[in-house]
Structure formats: C-alpha cells, structure tokens
Amino acid sequence: MAGNEKLVFMVLHGPKEPEHATIPFVMACAALGSDVDVVIGLQADGVQLGRIGGVDNVEAAGFPPLKRLIADFQALGGRLLVCGVCLDSRGIVAPDQLIAGADVVGAYRFIAEITSATNSLVY
C-alpha cells in the first residue's frame, strides 16, 4: 500500500472544534489514496477522537462526517496513535473506551514516528 513517503499528523483538537478535528483526517485519507504512509497522533483534547462514540455526530460544514473519515482512514491502512497521559488525565480508560486499532503510546513513540517521517503537520 504505502510507498517511501510518510506523513505524521498531530491532532490536538477534539470534537468541540469540528474543523480542526476533521481536516487532518481529510488530508490523511487523501495521502493514503496516493500511497503515502500516514500516522495520526492524538494528543491533548484530540484523544477524544479515539474514544468509542467520541465523534458521533461530529461533522464540519462541507466535509464528510468525522466518524466515516476515521473509518476510511483505518481501512486505507492509516495508523492511529493516542497519547496515554492525555487519556489518563481525561479519565478515558484504554483499551476499553478506545476504538479498535488505536494504539496507546508515549512521547518516545511519537518522536520515533516524527523523526522517521517525510513531513509532520500539527493541527
């Protein structure tokens, strides 16, 4: 699926900011459609996007529903990493409350993904 290029999107906004939460998944799906390897890292309130039911009814104007975008992202081979500390501080219990395929990680894993990427973007 993936070629030699890799993008990392760091998403720091949750469902209360639909555009900030949605656009990185739009970009990620477009990249995956071009055979670019993609990792999305959820930190701060962005971890809410990895919670089961966390994106129900989240839809930024003009964009597909976020729940569908995340499903497309995972179906296309995108990898979803979630900050463990950010989950703990919000009382979100992993893995029970996380969507399938979301991996809970620490700072070093994020750094390893970013330093091995062609480019990283922060939303």
Distances (CA, A) of 13 to 17, 70, 81, 120, 122: 6, 15, 14, 16, 10
Distance between CA atoms of 115 and 119, rounded to whole angstroms? 9
User: Least distance to other proteins from the beta carbon of 34, Å?
Assistant: 5
* Residue among 72 and 103 whose Cβ is closer to other proteins: 72
Q: Is 84 in the site for other proteins (CB under 8 A)?
A: no
User: Least distance to other proteins from the beta carbon of 103, Å?
Assistant: 23
Q: Using alpha carbons, select from 68, 64, 98, 79 the residue that is nearest to residue 31.
A: 79
* Residue among 40 and 104 whose Cβ is closer to other proteins: 40
What is the pattern of x (binds other proteins, CB under 8 A) and - over residues 51-80? -----------xxx-------x---x----
User: Least distance to other proteins from the beta carbon of 60, Å?
Assistant: 10
Distance between CA atoms of 39 and 53, rounded to whole angstroms? 21
User: Least distance to other proteins from the beta carbon of 64, Å?
Assistant: 5
Tokens of 78: 């995108």
Burial pattern 95-105, b for ≥16 Cβ within 10 A else e, equals: eebbbeebebb
Positions in the binding site for other proteins (CB under 8 A): 26, 29-30, 33-35, 62-64, 72, 76
